[in-house]
Amino acid sequence: MTKPTTDDHPHVAVLAFPFGTHAAPLLSITHHLAALSPSTHFSFFGTPSSNSFILSSNTNLPPNVKPYDVWDGTPDGYAYTGDVQEEMGLFISAAHESFRKGVDRAVEESGRRVSCLMSDAFFWFGKEMAEEIGGGVMWVPFWTAGPHALSSHLYTDFIRESFAGDVTQREDELLSSIPGMSRVRVCDLPEGVVFGRLDSLFSQMLHKMGQALPKADAVFINSFEELDPTFTNDLKSKLKCCLNIGPFNLISPPAQVPDTYGCIPWLDKQQLASVAYVSFGSATIPLPHELVALAEALEDRKVPFIWSLKDNAKVHLPDGFLETTKFQGIVIPWAPQAKVLGHKAVGVFITHCGWNSLLETIVGGVPVICRPFYGDQRLNARMIGDVWKIGVIVNGGVLAKEAMIDCFDKILLQEDGKQMRGRIKSLKDLALAATAYKGSSSDNMRELSRLVSSPCK
């Protein structure tokens, strides 16, 4: 049991999900909240590998944030097959216990009773853990993706009842009865809602999360209320308190990613809205034939480009592509993406539709070509293509040369592209207004700070 202390200064235990782009945004928000409330102590828990990765680029944490490593769930002597699902499964199975032990340690060391659990929303056991600690500890989870993806998990039971049976026959049906989803199809949903392996640990985690979140004291999201008021209102009606605090990088700009490969000086020499920026996020690499198709389309249309592509994937580019396009574009292993998308020379973003990338492209005002892969990406792509109309979903779902040429022409040369740029500019203006001093996200951030920094009851 956590040893209670007499100290009633607030102590927030922050529980990070150590895979994908989850832990880094939670650490940034913790950093920001710690600066807003210097008398609140924040203990940040992650696995050793995740912590060492995110802390390497966050070297100036305030003194009231202390990171702790917790067990990653790997039994001694365990031989991994190299499958990330397996690593995730072991972590998820041990997470509740690992975090409890970490929290006990932090309480011992700090002499402060925990007053609030701020966790990744994936940790469905947050409420239970807060109750175990006792003393009215609040559970305040963070949903790292978009509001529509959150909605798909809150409505999972309803969706499963509505589409019981062989869902493969109904994958083009619209989810019209869910607020905000009238253009979303069953096949756009994340795996684990109604198709995919519903019995996998990951799917079960998301299902339990959807059931648990309405019990949380507040849920905060890296989005802004004005992006889609239908979702905003519906989430407010389903959750006790729903705080949109984004785009967070406008409220608290992250440490600059160094421009190691000279993207910005290169962009300075290009024409207005002419460049294609290509990135499929931190983890996804399209299949070799898709890389070839994209390379051929760029070359065919002579579109200037910056392509963020891991060195080990370059071998799949067509023979001679790097040489023949050396004055047309640059292929680099990592780009200062937010800065690139904010450059006036960038005219289109070819993306896997990860949520952080989408917020960054909205802030940059750049229309997108969507090639989603898994998780919330198809849903994000549908919102972009059919609801917000700020981009196109690649025809046929995979990168093919002719389809890519059509997309480039549409966005870079035709009236459609101009209209998309106009709509994305309107969203950008709404994002800027939300994060201005009196904007909705700034207000919500102050409310979040007030909530998590309340002393123990």
- Per CB under 6 A, 26 contacts ligand UDP: no
With a CB cutoff of 8 Å and minimum separation 6, the contacts of 133 are 2, 103, 114, 117
Say if CB 209 and CB 122 are below 8 A apart: yes
Minimum distance, C-beta of residue 357 to ligand UDP, in the bound complex (Å):
3
Candidate list 120, 217, 228, 376, residue with the active-site label:
120
Sign of CA dihedral 229, 235, 238, 241: negative
Question: For this structure, is 120 an active site residue?
Answer: yes
Under rule CB under 6 A, which residues in 122-181 are in contact with ligand UDP?
A: none
CB burial of 268-278 (b: ≥16 within 10 Å; e: otherwise) equals eebeebbbbbb
CB 42, min distance to ligand UDP, A:
22
Least distance in angstroms from the C-beta of 281 to ligand UDP:
3
Q: Let me know: does 277 contact 411? Beta carbons within 8 Å.
A: no
- Integer Cα distance of 395 and 417 in angstroms: 16
CA distance 66 to 51: 11
Give one DSSP letter per residue of 259-281, joined into a string: -TT-HHHHHHTSPTT-EEEEE-T
Do 359 and 249 touch, CB atoms closer than 8 A? yes
Q: Which is nearer to ligand UDP, 117 or 245 (CB)?
A: 245
Residue nearer to ligand UDP on the CB measure, 357 or 444: 357
Q: How far is the CB of 148 from ligand UDP (least distance, A)?
A: 15
Please list every residue from 339 through 398 that binds ligand UDP, using CB under 6 A: 354-357, 360
Give catalytic status of residue 72 as yes or no: no
Yes or no: say if 10 and 115 are a contact pair by the CB < 8 Å rule: yes
Find the shortest distance in angstroms from Cβ 92 to ligand UDP.
18
Between CA 74 and CA 1 the distance in angstroms is 23
Of the candidate residues 330, 335, 350, 407, the single one contacting ligand UDP (CB under 6 A): 335
DSSP-derived letter for residue 73 is: S
Does 102 sit near ligand UDP (CB under 6 A)? Answer: no
The residue annotated as part of the active site, out of 22, 41, 207, 343, is 22
Q: Taking CB under 6 A as the rule, does residue 453 contact ligand UDP?
A: no
Q: Is the dihedral of CA 130, 136, 142, 147 positive or negative?
A: positive
**Does residue 274 touch ligand UDP according to CB under 6 A?**
no
- Quick one: 68 or 266, whose CB is closer to ligand UDP? 266
Comparing CB distances to ligand UDP, the nearer of 214 and 333 is: 333
Q: Does 71 bind ligand UDP (CB under 6 A)?
A: no
Task: Put the strands of the sheet holding 368-370 in their side by side order.
Answer: 329-332, 305-308, 275-279, 346-351, 368-370, 391-393
**Window 294-313: residues binding ligand UDP (CB under 6 A):** 308
Stretch that binds ligand UDP, among 29-37, 134-142, 263-271, 281-289 (CB under 6 A): 281-289
* Residue carrying structure tokens 């929290």: 103
Which CB atom, from 258 or from 320, has the smaller least distance to ligand UDP? 258
Among 9, 20, 264, 432, indicate the residue that binds ligand UDP (CB under 6 A).
20
Nearer to ligand UDP, 2 or 357 (CB): 357
Residue 50 CB, nearest distance to ligand UDP (Å)?
13
Taking the C-alpha atoms of residue 338 and residue 336, their distance in angstroms, rounded to an integer, is 6
Minimum distance from residue 343 beta carbon to ligand UDP (Å): 13
Tell me whether residue 10 or residue 385 sits nearer to ligand UDP (CB atom): 385
User: Could you identify the residue written with the tokens 């909530």?
Assistant: 451
Taking CB under 6 A as the criterion, the residue among 47, 279, 435, 440 binding ligand UDP is 279
Cβ within 8 Å of residue 156, ≥6 positions away: 193, 194, 206, 207, 210
SS3 state at 188: helix
| Cβ nearer to ligand UDP, comparing 398 with 405 | 398
Window contacting ligand UDP (CB under 6 A); options: 204-212, 234-242, 276-284, 386-394: 276-284
| 338 touches ligand UDP (CB under 6 A) | yes
What minimum distance in Å lies between the beta carbon of 253 and ligand UDP? Answer: 12
Rounded Cα–Cα distance for residues 42 and 40 (Å): 7
Which residue ranges make up the site for ligand UDP (CB under 6 A)? 20-21, 257, 279, 281-283, 308, 334-335, 337-338, 354-357, 360
Residues annotated as part of the active site: 22, 120
